[in-house]
Amino acid sequence: MAARALPASGIERTEFLSVSTDHHGPWTVADVLALPEDRTHRHELLGESLVRSPAPDVRHQRAAFRLATVLHAAARAARAPVEVLGAVSVTVPSGLVVPDLLVVDADAAAEDGVSVDAENVRLVVELVSPGNSTIDRKLKPMLYAEAAIPHFWRLEFDPVPMLAVYELRGGRYVERTTALSGVTTRLGAPFAVEIDPAGLSRQ
């Protein structure tokens, strides 16, 4: 898979690693998938650079679990032939990314592999972390759009939770709506779901 070199500017805590003690030359998708399991970091391939991000904090994981639960219930109610997954690697034209949540075709999820192809992904969701904000807001949406994933959501936590909802049009994501904290918003794609971001991270 051909990969583009991508800039590392503006990224706070995320580490860009072009070379490790056990690796020489450009990284490939196969190289990254072959790395041993690491519960303290996530590994992604952006261009030819291995990106290692810190594991999400408690608020992030709480919100991801609750949002996944909402999506799962809505998908079942709609009888949509999909599965909701968390932090699974997705192969895209420019490398390998790990969305916080994704909705994939049920047939693709049934293969039980270590990654899924972007063509089988209906929705990706990023929960913005302070250390990865530039990647979550700018870089990864660009890669998802390039991979023609039809729907992208971005959950922001501060100053209050809000969910920005995007749809792919003409190769770019266009914002369809924003679900605000304290308001139940009904979304129609990739299936009908009602959500109030206020309850996603609250203890």
Domain ranges of the chain: 15-54, 58-201
Check residue 165 and give its pLDDT. 98
Burial class (CB in 10 A: 0-12, 13-18, 19+), 31: middle
The strands making up 101-105's β-sheet, listed across from edge to edge, are: 82-86, 101-105, 121-127, 151-156, 162-169, 172-180
Token pair 């390039």 is at which residue? 146
Check residue 57 and give its pLDDT. 87
CATH number assigned to the domain covering 58-201? 3.90.1570.10
Check residue 191 and give its pLDDT. 97
Residue type, 85: L
Check residue 58 and give its pLDDT. 92
Check residue 103 and give its pLDDT. 98
Per-residue pLDDT of the chain in tens (203 residues, 90 and over written 9): 444 444 443 333 445 443 344 677 777 878 787 777 777 778 888 877 888 887 788 999 999 999 999 999 999 999 999 999 998 999 999 899 999 999 999 999 888 778 899 999 999 999 997 777 788 888 899 999 999 999 999 999 999 999 999 999 999 999 999 999 999 999 999 999 999 999 998 87
Write the DSSP string, 43-95: EEEETTEEEEEEPP-HHHHHHHHHHHHHHHHHHHHTT-SEEEEES-EEEETTE
Check residue 4 and give its pLDDT. 45
Check residue 22 and give its pLDDT. 65
Check residue 56 and give its pLDDT. 81
